[in-house]
Structure 1
Amino acid sequence: MALAGRVSETALMVPEYAQSDEFRGARIHLCDLGGLEIRDCEVTGLKIVDCYGSDVYLGGYFERLVVNDVDVTTYVEAELDRRHPARALARNVASPGDYRAAWDAIGALWGATLNQARLLPTRGTCRCGCRQPGTSPRVQGRDRPLGTGASRRAG
């Protein structure tokens, strides 16, 4: 079935939307959204109010994040910096020495990622069971460019 903004839809698959503004400004009320997945989307102004569930996952860059009327942005940033110290190094560069230290830290992380990728099979079965080339571990988050306080995404 070909509908504007839809990538595919079959009797066995749920609809998938890509590069669509079909939901911009929409209001979803009294719906079961269990299993809903939103990937790589602009969500500025997204509000989820009076909803319930378990195992809710948010991942990405959010300039401000409020949960149950509590701004948790600073807490989340501090926890991510604790887990990934290169983030703070890259964000706080002020001198050539700082740039070198941040670049070295990022280079070491990238080297470790490449070493892990080299251990993956070249052909096999991926986690979903389909036959695909090996996949590399997911890179978590989109960090800020060196020396900036704001995230910028290559588009």
Structure 2
Amino acid sequence: MQRTFRITVDGRSYNVVVEDLTAPAQPGAPQPASAPAASVVPAAAPSAAAPAPAAASPVAVLEGGGAGAEVAPLAGVVVAIDAHVGQAVKPGDRIATIEAMKMKTFVLAKNSGTVTTIAVKPNDSVETGQVLMTLG
């Protein structure tokens, strides 16, 4: 016995035909020799055009930041800046704290040097790869 269902995934509707393999075969009913057990057929195409690719955000320009840049390892909100301009840091020193999904993550320096600039402040939202500070 086959049944048809309509499901929606990420805003797109699909008509799905499912065959119940546990139901006893009806006598005299033709059985397809090699029909698939289930098939997915897209429903009517949405009338809206596909979204255009996103333009490069200003954050993309900041990603990587060049030599001496310490960047955010994840997207979130800056809770604290744990270093100040003029402070010498070495790899592994805590330089900032970022909160994402109610979890605080300590950002540790990857390079050694002296903090020359700080690009963010507490309560700023940051994206992955955004420059937090630079070391000279």
More strand by share: 2
More helix by share: 1
Looking at both structures, which has the greater relative contact order when contacts are Cα pairs under 8 Å and sequence separation is at least 6?
Answer: 2
Q: TM-score, normalised by structure 1?
A: 0.20
Q: TM-score, normalised by structure 2?
A: 0.22
Larger Rg: 2
